[in-house]
C-alpha cells in the first residue's frame, strides 16, 4: 500500500496514460471490458482521485482549470481545479476514440501520457501562469488604491498635495495592459504542454518521434 499523497505512481510503470474521470458513483464508470477495448489491454488500474496519488491528479486538474476559456477572462483562483473523482492508469498510450469521447463527454476529461518528471514541468508552468496573473492584478489595482487614498485623507482632514493632485487617469493609461503579455505567454506554454501530452495527439507523436529522427540523422 502507498503511504501518502506523494506515493510514486510511476514506481512500476515509468511512463503511462492517466485517464481522468468525474462521476458521482463508481457504478457510472464504464465497464472494465469497455475500458479494456479502448486501452487495448486489460493491464490497467482504477484509483480514486483523492487517494494516495492525489497530488498528481490535482496538478492535472489545475492544468485543465487554467485552460478553461472563462479562466482566461476572470483569472485563476489559487486552489481551483476541475472536478476529478477517479482515474485509470496504464502503460499503454491511449488513442482517442471519437465514439467513446462522445459517449462520456460529460464524465471523461481525457488522457495524458506522462512520466514522473513531466509533473515537475507542469507544476512550474502553472506557477508561472499564476504569478503572471498576480502581477497583472496587483498593478491593475494601483489606480483603485490611489483613489481610495484620496478619499481617506479627505475624510480624515489630512492635507497632502501630492496625493490630492495625483493624476489617476494618467496612471490608468500607463498601466493599462501591464502584465497581459506575460499571461498570454504563460498560457501558451501551458497549452503546449497540454497538447504534447494529451491523448495520442499529433503533437505528442511528433515529440515522441524526435529522438529517433535525431538518432537517424
Q: What does 125-176 look like in DSSP terms, one character per residue?
A: HHHHHHHHHHHHHHHHTHHHHHHHHHHHHHHHT---HHHHH--HHHHHHHHT
Note whether 134 and 72 are within 8 A (CB). Answer: no
Look at residue 203 in the predicted model and tell me its pLDDT.
52
Task: Give the rounded percent of residues in the chain with a pLDDT score beyond 90.
Answer: 68
Range in 55-69, 70-84, 141-155, 171-185 with the lowest mean pLDDT: 70-84
- Using DSSP's 3-state secondary structure scheme, residue 199 falls into coil
Burial level of 63, CB count in 10 A (0-12/13-18/19+)?
buried
User: Across the chain, what does the average pLDDT equal?
Assistant: 87
Q: Per residue in 27-47, is it b (16+ CB within 10 Å) or e — as a string? A: eebbeeeebeebbeeeebeeb
Give one word for 160, left, alpha or beta, with left for phi > 0 and alpha for psi -120 to 50.
beta
Note whether 162 and 146 are within 8 A (CB). Answer: no
Q: What is the pTM of this model?
A: 0.82
Which grid coordinates are listed for 137?
Answer: 492584478
User: What are the structural domain ranges in the chain?
Assistant: 15-116+198-216, 141-175
Note whether 200 and 96 are within 8 A (CB). Answer: yes
Range in 40-44, 45-49, 173-177 with the lowest mean pLDDT: 40-44
Amino acid at each position: 500500500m502507498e503511504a501518502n499523497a506523494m506515493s510514486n505512481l510511476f514506481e512500476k510503470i515509468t511512463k503511462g496514460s492517466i485517464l481522468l474521470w468525474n462521476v458521482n458513483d463508481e457504478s457510472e464508470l464504464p465497464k472494465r471490458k469497455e475500458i479494456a477495448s479502448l486501452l487495448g489491454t486489460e493491464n490497467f488500474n482504477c484509483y480514486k482521485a483523492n487517494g494516495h496519488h492525489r497530488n498528481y491528479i490535482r496538478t492535472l486538474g489545475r492544468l485543465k482549470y487554467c485552460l478553461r476559456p472563462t479562466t482566461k477572462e476572470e483569472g485563476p483562483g489559487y486552489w481551483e481545479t476541475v472536478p476529478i473523482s477517479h482515474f485509470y492508469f496504464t502503460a499503454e498510450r491511449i488513442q482517442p476514440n471519437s465514439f467513446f469521447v462522445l459517449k462520456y463527454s460529460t464524465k471523461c476529461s481525457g488522457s495524458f501520457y506522462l512520466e514522473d518528471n513531466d509533473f515537475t514541468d507542469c507544476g512550474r508552468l502553472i506557477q508561472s501562469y499564476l504569478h503572471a496573473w498576480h502581477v497583472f492584478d496587483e498593478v491593475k489595482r494601483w489606480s483603485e488604491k490611489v483613489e481610495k487614498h484620496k478619499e481617506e485623507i479627505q475624510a480624515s482632514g489630512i492635507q497632502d498635495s501630492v496625493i490630492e493632485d495625483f493624476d489617476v487617469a494618467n496612471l490608468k493609461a500607463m498601466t493599462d495592459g501591464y502584465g497581459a503579455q506575460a499571461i498570454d505567454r504563460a498560457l501558451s506554454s501551458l497549452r503546449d504542454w497540454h497538447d504534447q501530452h494529451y491523448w495520442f495527439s499529433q503533437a505528442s507523436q511528433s515529440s515522441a518521434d524526435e529522438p529517433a529522427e535525431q538518432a537517424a540523422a
